[in-house]
Structure 1
Amino acid sequence: MNSSTPGVLPGQGRESCRPVSRPIRARIDLNALRHNFAVARHHAGPARIWAVIKANAYGHGQWQVARALADLADGFALLEVESAIALRQAGFSQPLLLLEGFFAPEDVALLARHDLTPVVHSPAQLLMLEAAANRPGQVYVKLNTSMNRLGFCPGQLPEVLERLQRLGIREVTLMSHFAEADGGRGIEAQFGCFSALAGDAGLPVSLANSAALLRYPETRGDWVRPGIMLYGSSPFADISASSLGLRPVMHLESRLIGIQTLAAGERVGYGGLFQAGQPMRIGIVACGYADGYPRHAPTGTPIAVAGQPSRVLGRVSMDMLACDLSGIDAARVGSPVTLWGIGEGGTVDVDQVAAAAGTLSYELFCALAPRVPVAWG
């Protein structure tokens, strides 16, 4: 499916396993996605669910993910007005939440025309609403409870609600975003601040991201907003996705395109960052940072070759990386390699790859390069 295919969201087009001689491929398991949504539904209880599909559904294909969850999600949360309109034009009737709201006065009429729900988080947006002839019938009001990115200060809420009421906006939901639902400080301070305000207002609320949904059931409120857990990754550094009942959705695979035999003392790749301590075989994989693999992944980052665990060696190049073939006697040119996920080459936990590279699975998913062919199924 390419960007000219009807229904593909603006800027989200990608061909599905187009004929390419280079062996790197990504597979998106939509059954695993639906399974992970069921896990979120279990934790959500009576709350409704915004399936977060921003950033091209965390790199998984916004259009394909929306179709796979169309009969499950209560609504979709995304960023761009244009992408939301494309969903409407493709027949999606669920509520659509714009997580950063709108960016220009001319957007406001589009919100009303296409029944979109914007997040309102700034005085500038309020002014745009007040100046518009046609406005959306529902908004989310974002409160800054110490994340200090977007949102009104708590003391501004009464004035904000009064101005929205004067505009005739009939449905208002209060929201905030947790900074450390996945960390040691948790949610206590933010949740306490928000609860004091929301309790006085008597309005629906939306708070829980993936981490809060899994760890703090008291934050479920009326709507929850799972993101990373839908894509099979854990929001917690110390808890695996599998132990949370989640299944990997993106599987990145390639093959060996070369094999070298090193003598003790020989080095590998740019900068010679890895030096062989003894004679050894290494494999060269058709995958590099131009494919979205992290350049900063160090020696030891997990990989799987020919069904056995291995490790990255030395510096990742633009189009290739080296791996250790010690003990993998069956490895040959053409042998399958799994970079992350489950594949013919073996199984590799994307969260472990991300941790080794000093980043998060979010970044790895979103960084998948356009040149990598993708199959959804």
Structure 2
Amino acid sequence: MPLPPASNPRLVDALVIGHGLAGAVLTHSLAEAGWRVLVLDQPTLNSASRVAAGLVNPLAGRRFALTWRAEELLPAAAAFYQRVETTLGGGPWWYSRPIWKFFASIEEANAGLARVGSPFIAAAVPPTNTAALRAPLGGLELHGGGFLQTEPFLLALAAYRRARAELREEPFVLDRLDAGSVSPTPIRYQLADGTLIAARYVIFCEGAAAEHNPLFQWLPLVPNNGQVLEIDLAADLPPDVVLNGGAYAVPQPEHARRYRLGATYDWGTAPPAPTAAGQDDLLARLARFTSAPATVVGHRAGRRPAVRDRRPLLGFHPSDVRLVLFNGLGSKGVGLAPGLAAHLVAVLNAEETLWPEVNLARFAAFYPGATVA
């Protein structure tokens, strides 16, 4: 909609919508590159970013294939999180930890053992069958992964941005956006208090909420709900190791014997909420690799942003290149976000071209041709 004229709007290079994991990582990456930034965020306790166990696993599936672009994205992720800790003088939030992936069948064991010595697969985990740990077929020890304590990390980055007047806790309202003339004219946006912003780009990092954004509803977003438990185990499991045997158990550094256990996947459309069925499912999967009694001390649910072809969505709106999307990171967002944010910053600085596999233009046929007001 047209906005009233202003003689001195606040000039920014990027107005970022959303400060979950994607928005926080991208905003910090833009600021590191010298961009003037302003973020609008309406934090919710059940956002996937806050609920997540923050696991970074270099392998995917029963064939033990490397996750997409693992050899470039995972080192970039670890380096970014460590750099943020240094910049903010806080943490630690990033923990580089080995992951023990247990075999579920002889076929899995044969396939996995053949991969020992390949990238990220450090060694075989010998079979064990004790009261504390059941892995009769053994498994693999994976290096190059770990976990991020997402909630304290996001709270610290939000405080950092807020102290620089770069974060406002208010919703984005589409009717306050005035595209006006075409690029390179800045887009104008009116904040809740009436302040006018003039931005080179408006970058949407809304996570699952993007399914309700009229600008991007045409994209094949397929968000899903997930549940995670926080448990105390009555046994001493291998310290400082992430266990993965049908469910993952991520050790919580501030509490001995406490783990974050996840995760479920529900492709329904209902708002995310903890359920008894979800808890029972996770505890049953935990019992596959330990018989230690577990006490549930926390149970949370969130809604993940996902895409039909399981690749992130980055790029420019078909009708206005000043409107940018950074979304669809899904359950692997902690490992993907830093490297993809660096890539998008380079694209916006005209230093790189978008990777075809993440470019939202791959779904151009879905776009109905509507124009931005």
- After TM superposition, the score normalised by the length of structure 1 is 0.26
Higher RCO (CA < 8 A, seq sep 6+): 2
Q: Rg: which structure is higher?
A: 1
- After TM superposition, the score normalised by the length of structure 2 is 0.27
